[in-house]
Structure formats: structure tokens, C-alpha cells
Chain A
Amino acid sequence: MSLLEIENLQITFGGLDALSNLDFAIEEGEIVSVIGPNGAGKTTFFNAISGMIPPTSGEIIFDGESVLGLDPNQITEMGIARTFQNVRLFPNMTVLENVMVSQHCRTSQLVVGALFQTKAFKKEEKEIRERAEEILSFFGTRLVGYRLDQPAFALSYANRRRLEIARAMATQPRLLLLDEPVAGMNPIETAELTALIGRLRDEWGFTIVIIEHDMKVVRDVSDRVVVLDHGVPIAQGSYDDVSTNPDVIEAYLGRPVEAKR
């Protein structure tokens, strides 16, 4: 059984089909890239899976259960986490708090426990903190030490992107949706993050779906590539297959004009 199955998914805004006839499955442990020109419906696809937009028709099945009609927090609890194309952290909370609060659906403490300072409360609070520090240490020396207590708005752009991934990791997902994780990063940072994406699967066991425009990254990380254009999947397969597919080239570059005489 696939981890995520999408059956005939369709999303319509007004008269516009943002996504139509989307039909595919993601196996556990895969890294799948979703590519396509601007406006192809990639982010809409993520929004539908994470419960931000209800699909017009079709079915999304995660781990054997439908996620349609669930609140975003319930979907996160089932094990789907995501990052955003335009970074959306909790800017006035510290780096550590951003990661700690994202473990909310995996913790059970109540106000009463905090009020009476029960042992269970203290233990859990300690675990939350340690887990957050462990997750942040995954990014090497980028998000450690004094940075932990800095508010998120004080971070550099690349660090905000890293923190967003850390926050998604903190929800302890099985499926991680990364929306343009290297957008706006310089080549060195991009190479660093590309390596991290592979480690996310190998060391943390996440299945990853990634939207990316940087074809080098797509080539390096993905087991499989899905190409969307105008909300319709036009090709899928390995990077080499897809990159030579004439439909894909046409979607990106346009149809070659016949030479004028």
C-alpha cells in the first residue's frame, strides 16, 4: 500500500481548473519532486494535501485513511508536515520555541499539570526541549547556541528556511512536503541543503515530496519527478526521462515556432 494515494484530484477556483485529473501515489521512503512552470498548481497541490484548500472532487488517502474534511491540525497529527514557499514562521517567538510549539500535537500536557508542577509535566517539558535541540542540531552549526533564543524574525533568510524545515520535522511526520526549500539561497547553501534532504530520508525516515525550480537540486535528490502544467500532470518518471520528454520541454520553453520564409 502506498503512503499517499491521490485519486482523480480536482480543484477549481471559479472557472479555473487549478488541478485536474491528478492521479498518483507516493511510496514510503521515496523522494518525489513536483516541478512545472509558474502557475502549474504545485503549491495548490500541497495546500490540498495539508488541508488548507478543500478539493472540488477526488480523494486523498494517507496511510489508508482519507484526509478529506479533516482540519489541518488533524492532518498534521496523522503525519503530514509542510514548509512554505514564502517562509511563514512565528516571527516573535524564539527559534527554540518555534520548534517546541510544533511538537504540540505529540504532547499531552495540560494546564493543570503546569499549575501543580507535576513530575509528568516537568519530564515532558524537558523532553520537548531536548527533542527541539536535537532537531536543530541536524542543521550543523547554523542553528545552535545563542541563536536558539533569538526571535525568528532576527534570522537570516537561509536560516529561516532551515528553521521552517526544523519546525516541520518537529511535528514528527511520516510525509514531509517541502515547498521550494532552496529558493533564494546562494549556491553553497543550496548544495548544503540538497545534501540535507537526502539525509532527512536516510536518517529520519521521512518520505519527502519537494517542489523545486532548481533543476540541479531536483536531479540530485529525487527518485521520481512529476511534471505539472496548467494543473494537469504531463509526465512522470526518473529525472533523465522527464528532462528529455518533449512535452516537458514544450511546457517550459514553449512550442518551437516554424521558421518564417
Chain B
Amino acid sequence: MSEILKKKFKKRVSGVDRFLTFIRVLMATLIVVGVLAFIAQQVWPENPFTEWRNPDARGLTGDQFKGLIVSGLSQGAMYGLIALGYSMVYGVLGFINFAHGEVFMVGTMSGWITSEKLHDAGLWESNFILSLFVIIFVAIATSTVTAVITERIAYRPLRNSPRLIPLITSIGVSFFIQNAALGLFGPTSKGYPRLPEWLSKQRSILTVEIAGTKILVMVVAAVSMAGLWYLVERTQTGRAMRAVAEDKEIASLMGINVNRTIVITFGVGGAMAGVGGILWGLLFRSVTHMTGFLPGIKAFTAAVVGGIGNMGGAMAGGVFLGSAESIAPMVILEPLGVPGVSQLKDAVAFTVLVLVLLFKPSGLFGERLSQEDRA
């Protein structure tokens, strides 16, 4: 009997399982060793491990560390805003809308056009607050319209096809929008006009040195997320969105116009991407037709990290991913002696994705999917 049991047990632990366990242990060890080495390097710079791996380490000053956190948070806030769009569409329709990064780019691009015009007209200098509202409004409008049109012409005809088909379509839409922007505005990088001194100057808040722009980014992102939370949790429209996400057929039988609700979902997701686009423009002050690509993929990563389909998770995932890609290179990779760590932001972001998929595939805040079979 024991022979049979042994055989069965042997079969159950497959090679893939063993490999995954090995990777899990390896990754966990690397992170722990990296953090320990970082602490050691901060406390006792001449310790043997640091001498061996990273001899010319100077460690991080407190201000540098705070700076990393601040830039991580502001970057993460933008990822969160974009990730919401991925997560909401996934929640309602069950596919990843890869064109969402392009919706974000359209927002940044329209913000650039408007801000150029406002700059030429002189309003940018004389009344920056007003022009800020104008560009945010224009970006929200453009992104919302783009998202809604995409839904109407690309996804609605495919509503009843297998989910892989709209997914692939969304990649096509993404290329289409990218190349449309390339054709319309050319490949050069376009710069936003200079921000007024009072906004962009460094401020010191609670001993943290922080650029005013980053404060603006975080405040606007927080306000938008709070607004979205209110919309989804506390209004009839939001309840309809959640009902459609749970069961479209029943939602329809309970008198909810499913098509309209889906359009609203795309529109709201687009609006969030538009806000994110303006914040991106203000923070990095440049935009090309490729601007949407990497932030789009990273925001998708953030949505998966937070648990896709979960809005709170998308926001938290964005902030987590932004912070991780800002902090991890200096805190984990540098003490391990990896060369050129400041170039490794993107690698870190996607490693975070791999780690989350290895350890908790449903995401940090992922819940079980709704009863409906999503296959």
C-alpha cells in the first residue's frame, strides 16, 4: 500500500511545482538578502558583505530616501489612475483593454496642444490655475470620447465573442491610436510649457523636500480617486456598474440598460486616464506618440498586482508599484552589487508582477471572481 501511496505522492509534486518553489525561494532570498545588505550598509558601511559586493557604497542619506519615496508615490498615483481604467473594464467585460494606455496618451497629447495654445495666448503665465482647469477639462473630454468611441466601434460588435478576441482587438486599437498620433503630430517629443515658479519650486513639508508639482499630482490623484470611489459605491450609476459586473443578464432583467452602463464605465475609465495624462504632462513635461505605451503596461501591471477587477486594489497596486520601482533599485539591487541600478526601474516593475503572480496570483487585494464563469 505504501508503495502505491508513495507513487501517487510523487506524481502530485510535478516538475513545474518544484521549479516554481525554487524560483519562489530564490526570489524571497534575494529580497531578504538585499534588504539586509542595505541595512548593513547604512549602519556599518565597512562590513565585509558590502566590501565584497559594493565597495564604493556611500549609502543613502535620509533626504535621498525620502526623495525616493515621494517620487515613487507621485509616479504610483498616476499608475493608479490609469490602472483604474483597466480594472473597471475588466470587472465589467472581463477582458484587458490594452488600448487604455493610448487613451491616457491622448489625454496627455490634448493637454499639450491646449497648453501650447494657452501659452501663446498668455493665459498660462497670467492665470495658471484657470489654464490648469482648462487643460484638465480638455484632457478628460478627449480621453473620455476616445474611450467611448473605441468601445462603440471596436468592442461592442464583439460583445458575445470569446474574450480573447476583444483582447487582441484592443492591441490593434492601441497600435491604431499610436500611429494616428504619430501621423498627426510627428515623432518628435513635444514639451509642455514651463510651469510657474510658485508651483514647481521645492517645498519642505514635515522635513520632506518635495517639488510642488509632485504635491499637485498626489492631491489631484487622491481627489479623483475619492470621487470615483464615491461614484461607484454611493450612486445609482455606480451600483448599476457593479450589478453589470456581477451578472449582465440579471442586471438587464432588473431594468438596467447594460449597454449604457458599459459606455459609462469606459467613459469614467477614460476620464481617469485623462486626469492621469495631464498629471504626467505636468510632471515630465514631455509627450510623444509612445508616451502611452510603457505607463499603460505598467498600469496594467499595477492593476494585476492590486488584484484585477478590484478598484481599491488598482489604486493600491499603482502606489505600490510606483514606490517599488523607485525604491527597490537603491534598496535591494544596489547593495547586492548590481551595476547600473538606476536604469532598472522597468525591470523592477515587471519583476514585481512576476513576484505577485508567483506568491499570490489573485493580486494583493484580489478577491475571488464573481460566481459567473469567466472562462
Which B259-315 residues sit within 8 Å CB-CB of chain A? Answer: 264, 268
The answer to whether B246 and A111 touch across the interface, beta carbons within 8 angstroms, is: no
Inside 8 A of B256's CB, which chain A residues have their CB? Answer: 73, 101, 104-105
A-B contact count (CB 8 A): 102
Instruction: Name B369's closest neighbour in chain A (CB-CB).
Output: A92
Instruction: Name B267's closest neighbour in chain A (CB-CB).
Output: A111
Closest-CB distance, A207 to chain B (whole angstroms)? 18
Tell me, yes or no, whether A110 is within 8 Å of chain B by CB: yes
Tell me, yes or no, whether A77 is within 8 Å of chain B by CB: yes
Q: A91-B246, A101-B243, A111-B268 are in contact. Are A50 and B253 (CB under 8 A)?
A: yes
Inside 8 A of B257's CB, which chain A residues have their CB? Answer: 71, 73, 104-105
The answer to whether B255 and A92 touch across the interface, beta carbons within 8 angstroms, is: no
Tell me, yes or no, whether A128 is within 8 Å of chain B by CB: yes
Closest-CB distance, A128 to chain B (whole angstroms)? 6
The answer to whether B264 and A111 touch across the interface, beta carbons within 8 angstroms, is: yes
Tell me, yes or no, whether B239 is within 8 Å of chain A by CB: yes
The answer to whether A77 and B250 touch across the interface, beta carbons within 8 angstroms, is: no
The answer to whether B250 and A88 touch across the interface, beta carbons within 8 angstroms, is: yes
The answer to whether B237 and A110 touch across the interface, beta carbons within 8 angstroms, is: yes
Closest-CB distance, A196 to chain B (whole angstroms)? 20
Closest-CB distance, B315 to chain A (whole angstroms)? 18
Which B194-235 residues sit within 8 Å CB-CB of chain A? Answer: 227, 230-231, 234-235
Tell me, yes or no, whether A115 is within 8 Å of chain B by CB: yes
The answer to whether B240 and A72 touch across the interface, beta carbons within 8 angstroms, is: no
Closest-CB distance, A82 to chain B (whole angstroms)? 7
Q: How far is the CA of A106 from the CA of B230 in the complex (A)?
A: 21
Q: A101-B236, A110-B237, A111-B264 are in contact. Are A90 and B243 (CB under 8 A)?
A: yes
Q: How far is the CA of A97 from the CA of B240 in the complex (A)?
A: 10
Closest-CB distance, B267 to chain A (whole angstroms)? 8
Q: A93-B243, A93-B246 are in contact. Are A125 and B236 (CB under 8 A)?
A: yes
Tell me, yes or no, whether A114 is within 8 Å of chain B by CB: yes
Closest-CB distance, B260 to chain A (whole angstroms)? 9
Interface size class of A (residues with CB under 8 A): 35 or more
Tell me, yes or no, whether A76 is within 8 Å of chain B by CB: yes
Tell me, yes or no, whether A100 is within 8 Å of chain B by CB: yes
The answer to whether A107 and B236 touch across the interface, beta carbons within 8 angstroms, is: yes
Tell me, yes or no, whether A102 is within 8 Å of chain B by CB: yes
Instruction: Name B233's closest neighbour in chain A (CB-CB).
Output: A97
Tell me, yes or no, whether B242 is within 8 Å of chain A by CB: yes
Inside 8 A of A84's CB, which chain B residues have their CB? Answer: 250
Tell me, yes or no, whether B258 is within 8 Å of chain A by CB: yes
The answer to whether A93 and B249 touch across the interface, beta carbons within 8 angstroms, is: no
User: Of A88, A121, A124, which contacts B247 at CB under 8 A?
Assistant: A88
Inside 8 A of B371's CB, which chain A residues have their CB? Answer: 91
Tell me, yes or no, whether A222 is within 8 Å of chain B by CB: no
Tell me, yes or no, whether B252 is within 8 Å of chain A by CB: yes
Tell me, yes or no, whether B370 is within 8 Å of chain A by CB: yes
The answer to whether A109 and B237 touch across the interface, beta carbons within 8 angstroms, is: yes
Tell me, yes or no, whether B13 is within 8 Å of chain A by CB: no
Q: Which of A52, A101, A110 has the most CB of B within 10 A?
A: A101
Closest-CB distance, B117 to chain A (whole angstroms)? 26
The answer to whether A72 and B253 touch across the interface, beta carbons within 8 angstroms, is: yes
Instruction: Name B253's closest neighbour in chain A (CB-CB).
Output: A72
Inside 8 A of B268's CB, which chain A residues have their CB? Answer: 111
Inside 8 A of B237's CB, which chain A residues have their CB? Answer: 109-111, 114
The answer to whether B239 and A97 touch across the interface, beta carbons within 8 angstroms, is: yes
Instruction: Name B368's closest neighbour in chain A (CB-CB).
Output: A92
Q: How far is the CA of A237 from the CA of B342 in the complex (A)?
A: 83
The answer to whether A128 and B236 touch across the interface, beta carbons within 8 angstroms, is: yes
Q: Which 8 A-B pairs have the closest CB atoms?
A: A105-B255, A76-B255, A101-B239, A72-B252, A102-B254, A114-B235, A90-B246, A101-B243
